[in-house]
Amino acid sequence: MTLIIAHRDGWMAADRRETFESNLLGPYRVAKIKRGKGILVASAGAGVFQDLITEALELINVDPLRCVVQVFRDKGKDLGGHALALTSKGICEITSRGSVSWLDADYWAIGSGYMIALGYFAGISQGDSAKVTPETAKHAINVAERYVADVGDGYQVEHLG
């Protein structure tokens, strides 16, 4: 699992802790946010999503989001997780079956500790989403790390574009 945060202003943040089957925590950090032309994507849930996202981004032709969604659909089954994508059009969640839901929110979080991160942002922003920055995302990950065993070990921040 992981904690992933995306903001409409064009950035995405994630923790770096690797989690294996049966919630065994790994001894090393990984980069969870994958970059393609005009897209940032990260997944929560089944670890196979990281491989699917990498595979999809290698296939990119015209529409990177469509490539990611198509690779998920081609698997034809529920893999037990979902992904968060950020494009110039906004933020969307992708289910393991390839369904896409566009989000109207200025920022969103998925994965372990997402409720902690969203609560943290609500507390600091008081309705002003400009107060949710990559720096506050790092703080939210640090707060979530105190309460959720499979979140932590630093953070990765990527900017779209």
Give tens-digit pLDDT for 100-130. Answer: 999 999 999 999 899 999 999 999 988 788 8
Cβ 73 vs Cβ 95: under 8 Å: no
- Which pLDDT score is estimated for 58? 76
**What's the pLDDT band for 81 if we cut at 50, 70, 90?**
confident
**What's the pLDDT band for 140 if we cut at 50, 70, 90?**
very high
- Note the pTM of the prediction, 2 decimals: 0.87
Higher pLDDT, 154 or 72: 154
Classify 3-111 by CATH class.
alpha beta
